[in-house]
Chain A
Protein backbone atom coordinates (compact mmCIF):
# COMPACT_ATOMS: atom_id res chain seq x y z
CA UNK A 1 0.00 0.00 0.00
CA UNK A 2 1.05 3.62 -0.26
CA UNK A 3 2.43 5.41 2.75
CA UNK A 4 -0.11 6.77 5.21
CA UNK A 5 -0.30 10.56 5.48
CA UNK A 6 1.66 12.73 7.88
CA UNK A 7 -1.35 13.00 10.17
CA UNK A 8 -1.31 9.24 10.74
CA UNK A 9 2.40 9.29 11.55
CA UNK A 10 1.83 12.19 13.93
CA UNK A 11 -0.95 10.25 15.66
CA UNK A 12 1.32 7.23 16.00
CA UNK A 13 4.07 9.34 17.53
CA UNK A 14 1.55 10.86 19.93
CA UNK A 15 0.26 7.43 20.95
CA UNK A 16 -3.14 8.07 19.41
CA UNK A 17 -5.03 5.15 17.88
CA UNK A 18 -4.69 4.64 14.12
CA UNK A 19 -6.25 2.09 11.81
CA UNK A 20 -4.66 -1.39 11.61
CA UNK A 21 -3.70 -1.16 7.95
CA UNK A 22 -1.66 2.00 8.50
CA UNK A 23 -0.18 0.66 11.67
CA UNK A 24 1.09 -2.55 10.08
CA UNK A 25 2.40 -0.66 7.05
CA UNK A 26 4.49 1.64 9.25
CA UNK A 27 5.85 -1.37 11.14
CA UNK A 28 7.31 -2.80 7.96
CA UNK A 29 8.31 0.39 6.15
CA UNK A 30 11.77 1.91 6.61
CA UNK A 31 10.78 5.27 5.26
CA UNK A 32 7.78 5.62 7.58
CA UNK A 33 9.93 4.28 10.40
CA UNK A 34 12.43 7.10 9.89
CA UNK A 35 9.65 9.69 9.80
CA UNK A 36 8.17 8.27 12.98
CA UNK A 37 11.55 8.32 14.71
CA UNK A 38 12.02 11.97 13.70
CA UNK A 39 8.61 12.85 15.10
CA UNK A 40 9.41 11.06 18.35
CA UNK A 41 12.73 12.85 18.59
CA UNK A 42 10.84 16.13 18.18
CA UNK A 43 8.33 15.17 20.85
CA UNK A 44 11.10 14.22 23.26
CA UNK A 45 12.71 17.61 22.71
CA UNK A 46 9.40 19.41 23.27
CA UNK A 47 8.73 17.44 26.43
CA UNK A 48 11.94 18.72 28.02
CA UNK A 49 10.48 22.22 27.92
CA UNK A 50 13.79 24.09 27.63
CA UNK A 51 13.69 27.79 28.59
CA UNK A 52 14.74 30.53 26.20
CA UNK A 53 16.64 33.65 27.16
CA UNK A 54 16.73 36.83 25.10
CA UNK A 55 20.08 38.60 24.80
CA UNK A 56 20.36 42.05 26.33
CA UNK A 57 20.11 45.10 24.04
CA UNK A 58 23.86 45.70 24.31
CA UNK A 59 24.42 42.61 22.13
CA UNK A 60 22.71 44.19 19.15
CA UNK A 61 24.60 47.39 19.86
CA UNK A 62 27.87 45.50 19.74
CA UNK A 63 26.91 43.79 16.48
CA UNK A 64 26.12 47.14 14.89
CA UNK A 65 29.38 48.58 16.19
CA UNK A 66 31.42 45.62 14.93
CA UNK A 67 29.87 45.56 11.49
CA UNK A 68 29.98 49.32 11.06
CA UNK A 69 33.76 49.34 11.50
CA UNK A 70 34.16 47.44 8.25
CA UNK A 71 35.38 49.36 5.26
CA UNK A 72 32.45 50.18 2.98
CA UNK A 73 34.22 48.58 0.02
CA UNK A 74 34.60 45.28 1.87
CA UNK A 75 31.07 45.13 3.17
CA UNK A 76 27.84 47.02 2.72
CA UNK A 77 26.34 49.08 5.48
CA UNK A 78 25.41 47.57 8.82
CA UNK A 79 21.81 47.76 10.08
CA UNK A 80 20.23 51.12 9.89
CA UNK A 81 23.35 52.91 8.85
CA UNK A 82 23.94 54.85 5.72
CA UNK A 83 25.80 52.85 3.13
CA UNK A 84 28.68 55.29 3.15
CA UNK A 85 30.08 57.98 5.33
CA UNK A 86 29.45 61.47 4.07
CA UNK A 87 32.33 63.30 2.61
CA UNK A 88 32.32 67.05 2.73
CA UNK A 89 31.78 67.05 -1.01
CA UNK A 90 28.65 64.98 -0.86
CA UNK A 91 27.32 67.12 1.97
CA UNK A 92 27.45 70.16 -0.21
CA UNK A 93 25.21 68.40 -2.70
CA UNK A 94 22.98 67.09 0.05
CA UNK A 95 22.51 70.57 1.40
CA UNK A 96 21.12 71.74 -1.88
CA UNK A 97 18.72 68.84 -1.93
CA UNK A 98 17.86 69.51 1.69
CA UNK A 99 16.82 73.01 0.88
CA UNK A 100 14.40 71.66 -1.69
CA UNK A 101 12.62 69.25 0.59
CA UNK A 102 10.47 71.29 2.90
CA UNK A 103 8.09 70.91 5.78
CA UNK A 104 5.23 70.62 3.35
CA UNK A 105 6.39 67.15 2.40
CA UNK A 106 5.65 65.93 5.92
CA UNK A 107 1.95 66.07 5.11
CA UNK A 108 2.47 63.22 2.69
CA UNK A 109 3.29 60.71 5.40
CA UNK A 110 1.07 58.07 3.87
CA UNK A 111 2.86 57.94 0.56
CA UNK A 112 6.11 57.07 2.31
CA UNK A 113 4.87 54.10 4.22
CA UNK A 114 5.00 50.64 2.72
CA UNK A 115 1.46 49.78 1.63
CA UNK A 116 1.27 46.92 4.14
CA UNK A 117 2.85 48.82 7.04
CA UNK A 118 1.05 48.82 10.35
CA UNK A 119 1.81 51.85 12.51
CA UNK A 120 2.55 50.63 16.03
CA UNK A 121 3.50 53.94 17.66
CA UNK A 122 4.40 57.47 16.74
CA UNK A 123 5.88 60.63 18.18
CA UNK A 124 6.22 64.24 17.13
CA UNK A 125 9.83 65.30 16.89
CA UNK A 126 10.25 68.71 18.48
CA UNK A 127 13.19 71.00 19.12
CA UNK A 128 14.47 70.91 22.68
CA UNK A 129 14.62 74.68 23.13
CA UNK A 130 11.43 76.00 21.56
CA UNK A 131 9.39 72.78 21.36
CA UNK A 132 8.62 73.45 17.70
CA UNK A 133 7.55 70.32 15.85
CA UNK A 134 9.95 69.57 13.05
CA UNK A 135 8.93 66.07 12.07
CA UNK A 136 7.43 62.74 12.98
CA UNK A 137 8.82 59.34 14.03
CA UNK A 138 6.78 56.20 13.63
CA UNK A 139 7.28 52.60 14.56
CA UNK A 140 5.94 50.46 11.76
CA UNK A 141 5.54 46.76 11.39
CA UNK A 142 6.29 45.77 7.81
CA UNK A 143 5.99 42.05 7.00
CA UNK A 144 6.73 41.16 10.60
CA UNK A 145 9.78 43.41 10.86
CA UNK A 146 9.75 46.54 13.03
CA UNK A 147 11.10 49.76 11.60
CA UNK A 148 11.46 53.24 12.97
CA UNK A 149 10.55 55.71 10.23
CA UNK A 150 11.83 59.24 10.52
CA UNK A 151 10.15 62.03 8.60
CA UNK A 152 11.66 65.44 9.13
CA UNK A 153 12.03 68.64 7.26
CA UNK A 154 15.60 68.74 6.13
CA UNK A 155 17.77 71.36 7.72
CA UNK A 156 20.37 72.60 5.30
CA UNK A 157 23.41 72.78 7.48
CA UNK A 158 26.83 71.85 6.19
CA UNK A 159 28.32 71.71 9.70
CA UNK A 160 28.25 67.91 9.97
CA UNK A 161 25.67 65.17 9.51
CA UNK A 162 22.50 64.06 11.24
CA UNK A 163 22.34 60.86 13.25
CA UNK A 164 19.25 59.09 14.58
CA UNK A 165 19.29 57.55 18.06
CA UNK A 166 16.98 55.61 20.32
CA UNK A 167 17.47 56.68 23.92
CA UNK A 168 16.35 54.55 26.81
CA UNK A 169 13.75 55.83 29.27
CA UNK A 170 16.49 55.74 31.89
CA UNK A 171 18.21 58.49 29.85
CA UNK A 172 21.49 56.68 30.34
CA UNK A 173 21.63 54.17 27.53
CA UNK A 174 21.29 54.86 23.84
CA UNK A 175 21.63 53.13 20.52
CA UNK A 176 22.50 54.67 17.20
CA UNK A 177 20.08 53.76 14.44
CA UNK A 178 22.20 55.37 11.78
CA UNK A 179 22.77 58.42 9.66
CA UNK A 180 19.95 60.55 8.33
CA UNK A 181 21.30 61.92 5.09
CA UNK A 182 20.56 65.58 4.63
CA UNK A 183 18.15 66.05 1.84
CA UNK A 184 16.40 62.85 2.83
CA UNK A 185 13.34 63.71 4.80
CA UNK A 186 12.06 60.17 5.06
CA UNK A 187 14.07 57.15 6.09
CA UNK A 188 13.37 53.96 8.00
CA UNK A 189 15.65 51.97 10.27
CA UNK A 190 15.01 48.33 11.21
CA UNK A 191 14.94 47.70 14.95
CA UNK A 192 14.47 44.51 16.96
CA UNK A 193 11.36 44.35 19.15
CA UNK A 194 13.58 43.67 22.16
CA UNK A 195 15.03 47.16 21.94
CA UNK A 196 11.62 48.77 22.33
CA UNK A 197 10.69 46.29 25.05
CA UNK A 198 13.82 47.31 26.93
CA UNK A 199 12.60 50.91 27.01
CA UNK A 200 14.47 52.46 24.07
CA UNK A 201 11.55 54.68 23.12
CA UNK A 202 12.96 58.21 22.89
CA UNK A 203 13.80 59.15 19.32
CA UNK A 204 16.58 61.69 19.08
CA UNK A 205 18.27 63.29 16.09
CA UNK A 206 21.66 64.80 16.72
CA UNK A 207 24.01 66.90 14.69
CA UNK A 208 27.38 65.14 14.53
CA UNK A 209 30.68 66.67 13.52
CA UNK A 210 32.76 64.75 11.01
CA UNK A 211 35.24 63.60 13.61
CA UNK A 212 34.91 59.81 13.51
CA UNK A 213 33.73 59.76 17.11
CA UNK A 214 30.96 57.18 17.37
CA UNK A 215 29.37 58.65 20.52
CA UNK A 216 26.47 61.14 20.58
CA UNK A 217 27.80 64.66 20.15
CA UNK A 218 25.40 66.06 22.75
CA UNK A 219 23.96 68.39 20.12
CA UNK A 220 20.35 67.17 19.88
CA UNK A 221 18.22 68.89 17.30
CA UNK A 222 14.85 67.25 17.89
CA UNK A 223 13.45 64.64 20.19
CA UNK A 224 10.18 62.78 20.73
CA UNK A 225 8.99 59.93 22.94
CA UNK A 226 7.17 57.06 21.24
CA UNK A 227 3.89 56.19 22.90
CA UNK A 228 4.09 52.40 23.07
Chain B
Protein backbone atom coordinates (compact mmCIF):
# COMPACT_ATOMS: atom_id res chain seq x y z
CA UNK B 1 0.00 0.00 0.00
CA UNK B 2 2.02 3.00 -1.21
CA UNK B 3 0.13 5.68 0.81
CA UNK B 4 0.97 3.90 4.06
CA UNK B 5 4.58 3.68 3.10
CA UNK B 6 4.69 7.39 2.36
CA UNK B 7 3.22 7.99 5.76
CA UNK B 8 5.84 5.88 7.49
CA UNK B 9 8.66 7.53 5.63
CA UNK B 10 7.52 10.98 6.47
CA UNK B 11 7.22 10.05 10.13
CA UNK B 12 10.72 8.60 10.12
CA UNK B 13 11.93 11.79 8.50
CA UNK B 14 10.06 13.85 11.07
CA UNK B 15 11.58 11.84 13.93
CA UNK B 16 15.01 12.44 12.52
CA UNK B 17 14.46 16.19 12.15
CA UNK B 18 12.96 16.31 15.64
CA UNK B 19 15.97 14.61 17.16
CA UNK B 20 18.30 16.98 15.39
CA UNK B 21 16.43 19.90 16.91
CA UNK B 22 14.96 21.31 13.71
CA UNK B 23 12.38 23.79 15.06
CA UNK B 24 9.96 23.15 12.22
CA UNK B 25 9.77 19.52 13.34
CA UNK B 26 8.27 20.62 16.66
CA UNK B 27 5.65 22.65 14.81
CA UNK B 28 4.96 19.72 12.48
CA UNK B 29 4.62 17.32 15.42
CA UNK B 30 2.23 19.72 17.11
CA UNK B 31 0.18 20.10 13.94
CA UNK B 32 -0.04 16.33 13.64
CA UNK B 33 -0.53 15.19 17.24
CA UNK B 34 -1.56 18.31 19.20
CA UNK B 35 -5.23 17.44 18.88
CA UNK B 36 -4.61 13.85 19.91
CA UNK B 37 -2.58 14.78 22.99
CA UNK B 38 -5.07 17.44 24.01
CA UNK B 39 -8.03 15.10 23.56
CA UNK B 40 -6.37 12.45 25.71
CA UNK B 41 -5.55 14.98 28.42
CA UNK B 42 -9.06 16.37 28.35
CA UNK B 43 -10.53 12.91 28.69
CA UNK B 44 -8.26 11.99 31.61
CA UNK B 45 -8.37 15.29 33.44
CA UNK B 46 -11.89 16.43 32.69
CA UNK B 47 -11.29 20.12 32.19
CA UNK B 48 -9.88 22.32 29.47
CA UNK B 49 -7.55 24.30 31.66
CA UNK B 50 -5.66 21.28 32.96
CA UNK B 51 -5.76 19.60 29.55
CA UNK B 52 -4.17 22.62 27.89
CA UNK B 53 -1.49 22.76 30.58
CA UNK B 54 -0.65 19.12 30.06
CA UNK B 55 -0.65 19.49 26.28
CA UNK B 56 1.86 22.27 26.60
CA UNK B 57 4.00 20.26 29.02
CA UNK B 58 3.99 17.23 26.74
CA UNK B 59 5.39 19.08 23.74
CA UNK B 60 7.86 21.11 25.78
CA UNK B 61 9.15 18.04 27.58
CA UNK B 62 9.29 16.01 24.36
CA UNK B 63 11.33 18.79 22.78
CA UNK B 64 13.70 19.02 25.73
CA UNK B 65 14.27 15.29 25.88
CA UNK B 66 14.31 14.73 22.13
CA UNK B 67 17.82 13.28 22.29
CA UNK B 68 16.32 10.27 24.08
CA UNK B 69 14.14 9.49 21.06
CA UNK B 70 15.80 6.61 19.33
CA UNK B 71 16.33 6.80 15.61
CA UNK B 72 14.31 4.37 13.58
CA UNK B 73 12.39 2.92 16.50
CA UNK B 74 8.90 3.58 17.71
CA UNK B 75 6.74 6.39 16.50
CA UNK B 76 6.84 10.01 17.52
CA UNK B 77 3.07 9.90 17.99
CA UNK B 78 3.38 6.91 20.31
CA UNK B 79 6.10 8.60 22.29
CA UNK B 80 3.96 11.73 22.71
CA UNK B 81 1.01 9.62 23.82
CA UNK B 82 3.20 7.89 26.42
CA UNK B 83 4.42 11.23 27.74
CA UNK B 84 0.85 12.52 27.77
CA UNK B 85 -0.40 9.62 29.86
CA UNK B 86 2.44 10.00 32.30
CA UNK B 87 1.77 13.72 32.63
CA UNK B 88 -1.93 13.08 33.16
CA UNK B 89 -1.14 10.58 35.89
CA UNK B 90 1.16 13.18 37.50
CA UNK B 91 -1.54 15.86 37.28
CA UNK B 92 -4.10 13.55 38.88
CA UNK B 93 -1.64 12.65 41.63
CA UNK B 94 -1.08 16.34 42.36
CA UNK B 95 -4.83 16.87 42.56
CA UNK B 96 -5.10 14.08 45.08
CA UNK B 97 -2.31 15.46 47.17
CA UNK B 98 -3.99 18.84 47.09
CA UNK B 99 -7.12 17.18 48.36
CA UNK B 100 -9.17 18.11 45.34
CA UNK B 101 -11.37 15.07 45.61
CA UNK B 102 -10.82 12.80 42.73
CA UNK B 103 -11.39 9.39 44.17
CA UNK B 104 -12.77 8.00 40.95
CA UNK B 105 -10.05 9.49 38.83
CA UNK B 106 -7.43 8.17 41.19
CA UNK B 107 -8.81 4.69 40.73
CA UNK B 108 -8.38 4.93 36.98
CA UNK B 109 -5.06 6.64 37.42
CA UNK B 110 -3.65 3.55 38.96
CA UNK B 111 -1.97 4.25 36.08
CA UNK B 112 -0.82 4.40 33.03
CA UNK B 113 -1.23 0.69 32.55
CA UNK B 114 -4.70 0.09 33.78
CA UNK B 115 -7.38 -1.39 31.58
CA UNK B 116 -9.56 1.66 31.97
CA UNK B 117 -7.00 4.10 30.67
CA UNK B 118 -5.98 1.69 27.94
CA UNK B 119 -9.53 1.69 26.61
CA UNK B 120 -9.76 5.46 26.70
CA UNK B 121 -6.43 5.75 24.93
CA UNK B 122 -7.50 3.24 22.29
CA UNK B 123 -10.69 5.12 21.56
CA UNK B 124 -9.04 8.51 21.22
CA UNK B 125 -6.08 7.24 19.22
CA UNK B 126 -8.42 5.45 16.83
CA UNK B 127 -10.74 8.46 16.51
CA UNK B 128 -7.70 10.55 15.63
CA UNK B 129 -6.46 7.97 13.12
CA UNK B 130 -9.95 7.72 11.63
CA UNK B 131 -9.96 11.45 10.93
CA UNK B 132 -6.59 11.09 9.24
CA UNK B 133 -7.93 8.42 6.87
CA UNK B 134 -9.79 11.12 4.96
CA UNK B 135 -12.95 10.71 2.96
CA UNK B 136 -14.71 8.77 1.67
CA UNK B 137 -12.96 6.07 3.70
CA UNK B 138 -13.52 7.67 7.11
CA UNK B 139 -17.20 8.32 6.42
CA UNK B 140 -17.74 4.79 5.15
CA UNK B 141 -16.16 3.34 8.29
CA UNK B 142 -18.25 5.57 10.54
CA UNK B 143 -21.43 4.52 8.75
CA UNK B 144 -20.58 0.81 8.99
CA UNK B 145 -18.84 0.52 12.35
CA UNK B 146 -20.36 3.31 14.44
CA UNK B 147 -23.82 3.62 12.93
CA UNK B 148 -24.13 -0.08 12.15
CA UNK B 149 -25.27 0.21 8.55
CA UNK B 150 -24.73 -2.74 6.23
CA UNK B 151 -22.19 -2.49 3.42
CA UNK B 152 -25.10 -2.65 0.98
CA UNK B 153 -26.93 0.24 2.61
CA UNK B 154 -23.79 2.36 2.61
CA UNK B 155 -23.09 1.54 -1.04
CA UNK B 156 -26.59 2.66 -1.96
CA UNK B 157 -26.49 5.76 0.20
CA UNK B 158 -23.16 6.95 -1.15
CA UNK B 159 -23.83 5.68 -4.66
CA UNK B 160 -20.65 3.60 -4.71
CA UNK B 161 -20.13 0.04 -5.95
CA UNK B 162 -20.50 -2.54 -3.17
CA UNK B 163 -16.97 -3.83 -3.78
CA UNK B 164 -15.56 -0.33 -3.32
CA UNK B 165 -17.33 0.08 0.00
CA UNK B 166 -16.11 -3.31 1.25
CA UNK B 167 -12.59 -2.53 0.19
CA UNK B 168 -12.63 0.85 1.98
CA UNK B 169 -13.84 -0.79 5.19
CA UNK B 170 -11.19 -3.54 5.06
CA UNK B 171 -8.30 -1.24 4.12
CA UNK B 172 -9.42 1.34 6.63
CA UNK B 173 -9.69 -1.17 9.46
CA UNK B 174 -6.23 -2.57 8.72
CA UNK B 175 -4.75 0.92 8.65
CA UNK B 176 -6.44 1.86 11.94
CA UNK B 177 -5.12 -1.26 13.58
CA UNK B 178 -1.62 -0.39 12.42
CA UNK B 179 -1.97 3.19 13.68
CA UNK B 180 -3.27 1.98 17.03
CA UNK B 181 -0.41 -0.47 17.47
CA UNK B 182 2.20 2.09 16.53
CA UNK B 183 0.94 4.47 19.13
CA UNK B 184 0.08 2.10 21.96
CA UNK B 185 2.57 -0.74 21.64
Contact = CB atoms under 8 A, between A and B. Distances in A.
Interface stretch (B20-28, B93-101, B103-111): B20-28
Interface stretch (A3-11, A130-138, A207-215): A3-11
A41 B173 contact: no
Interface stretch (B53-61, B72-80, B153-161): B53-61
Given A55-B38, A59-B38, A63-B56, A191 B27 contact: yes
Contacts of B42: 53
A143 B10 contact: yes
Contacts of B88: none
B21 A47 contact: no
Interface in B147-185: 151, 166, 169-170, 173-174, 176-177, 180-181
Interface residues of B, number: 54
B177 A42 contact: yes
A10 B173 contact: yes
B181 A38 contact: yes
Contacts of B169: 10, 14
A52 B128 contact: yes
Interface string A14-58: 101000000000000000000000110111111111111111101
A45 B64 contact: no
Contacts of A198: none
A75 B67 CA distance: 10
Nearest to A10: B170
Nearest to B43: A50
Contacts of A54: 34-35, 38
Contacts of A75: 21, 63-64
Contact of A79 (B20, B26, B166): B26
A48 B123 contact: yes
A67 to B, nearest CB: 5
B145 A43 contact: yes
Interface in B124-148: 124-128, 130-131, 141-142, 144-146
A38 B122 CA distance: 11
A129 to B, nearest CB: 33
A188 B102 CA distance: 46
A81 interface: yes
Contacts of A44: 122
A43 B27 contact: no
A217 interface: no
B124 A52 contact: yes
Contact of B60 (A13, A38, A58, A66): A66
B34 A59 contact: yes
A47 B20 CA distance: 39
Given A10-B174, A39-B177, A46 B141 contact: yes
Closest 8 CB pairs of A and B: A76-B21, A190-B27, A55-B38, A50-B123, A45-B122, A45-B126, A79-B27, A10-B170
Interface of B: 10, 20-24, 26-28, 30-31, 34-39, 42-43, 48, 51-52, 55-56, 59-60, 63-64, 119-120, 122-128, 130-131, 141-142, 144-146, 151, 166, 169-170, 173-174, 176-177, 180-181
Given A46-B145, A50-B39, A83-B23, 15 more contacts: A6-B174, A10-B169, A14-B169, A42-B176, A45-B123, A46-B176, A49-B146, A50-B126, A59-B52, A66-B56, A76-B20, A78-B63, A79-B24, A79-B27, A192-B34
